[in-house]
Amino acid sequence: MVIFYDMKLVFATNNLNKLKEVQEILPSSIELLSLKDIDCFDEVAETATTLEGNAQLKANHITEKFGYNCFADDTGLEVAALNGAPGVYSARYAGEPANAENNMAKLLTNLDQITDRQAQFRTSICLNLDGKQFLFDGICKGEILTQQQGEKGFGYDPIFQPDGYTVSFAEMTSEEKNEISHRGLAIQKLIAFLKTY
Ligand code: IMP
């Protein structure tokens, strides 16, 4: 028999869409709190050189300063022909301030004339729970298109086409994307773990 414990859990994000999406699929015994809910307005610098490291930095900040069980995520787009770049630097690939159009333009330029277009999105989630730490990851493999397609989504969505599809992430509904996306898969692993904890 699975026993559910009453638990408050912080999701270290300011993105309310991500928060809502996770709360909807969590067991009702787990109350998800946002950073605002715990009066945390700190900007944690993402200074690690890996996705796991950045997820750990964010989760550890909350657990150490505020004392909550917490999880945090970090995502990057890893392009095979560019040795995994932009990877952990995806948000600011074209420099500060972060700008999706400039990031996509830089990536398309760097892949100009390159036929190997294989890439993957990878999300790492770090969970701090009752003094222990757990990592979960989610990968979505696909390819980088030669030009933007579609208007939905965010970030690199218009130039990423997941394997087995003929449309980009930016041409999918958020439900379609969440079912196969890196973040969706990592969150499903986290939730499966929490349900049996
Ligand atoms: P974050 O860790 O979720 O903030 O993601 C870091 C960066 O990766 C974002 O600023 C985007 O550029 C890119 N990114 C993350 N997830 C996605 C996605 O689902 N689609 C497109 N780009 C993404």
User: Model-level pTM?
Assistant: 0.93
Report which residue type is found at 84. G
17, 19, 35, 75, best to mutate for ligand 1 pocket (most atoms within 8 Å of CB): 75
Task: Specify the residue with its C-alpha closest to ligand 1, atom 7.
Answer: 91
74, 77, 104, 145, best to mutate for ligand 1 pocket (most atoms within 8 Å of CB): 77
Confidence at 24, pLDDT banded by 50, 70, 90: confident
Q: Is 138 helix (H, G, I), strand (E, B) or coil?
A: strand
Per-residue pLDDT tens for 97-152?
A: 999 999 999 999 999 999 999 999 999 999 999 999 999 999 999 999 999 999 99
Confidence at 2, pLDDT banded by 50, 70, 90: low
Confidence at 1, pLDDT banded by 50, 70, 90: low
Q: Is residue 3 predicted with pLDDT exceeding 50?
A: no
The residue-averaged pLDDT of 157-170 equals 98
Per-residue pLDDT tens for 62-93?
A: 999 999 999 999 999 999 999 999 999 999 99
pLDDT of residue 95: 96
Distance 155 CA to ligand 1 centre (A): 6
pLDDT of residue 143: 98
pLDDT of residue 33: 93
The residue-averaged pLDDT of 171-179 equals 92
CB of 78 closer than 6 A to ligand 1?
Answer: no
CB of 75 closer than 6 A to ligand 1?
Answer: yes
Quick count: other Cβ atoms within 10 Å of Cβ 95? 10
Say if CB 62 and CB 39 are below 8 A apart: no
Closest CA to 17 of 186, 190, 175: 175
Per cent of the chain over pLDDT 70 is 97
74 is catalytic: yes
Q: CA-CA distance, 54 to 186, in Å (whole number)?
A: 15
Q: Is 17 helix (H, G, I), strand (E, B) or coil?
A: helix
Cα–Cα separations (whole angstroms), residue 161 to 77, 113, 182, 187: 12, 18, 13, 21
Q: Which atom of ligand 1 is nearest to the CA of 169?
A: 20
The residue-averaged pLDDT of 49-74 equals 97
State how far Cα 173 lies from the chain centre.
17
The residue-averaged pLDDT of 147-165 equals 97
| Active-site entry in 37, 39, 74, 157 | 74
CB of 120 closer than 6 A to ligand 1?
Answer: no
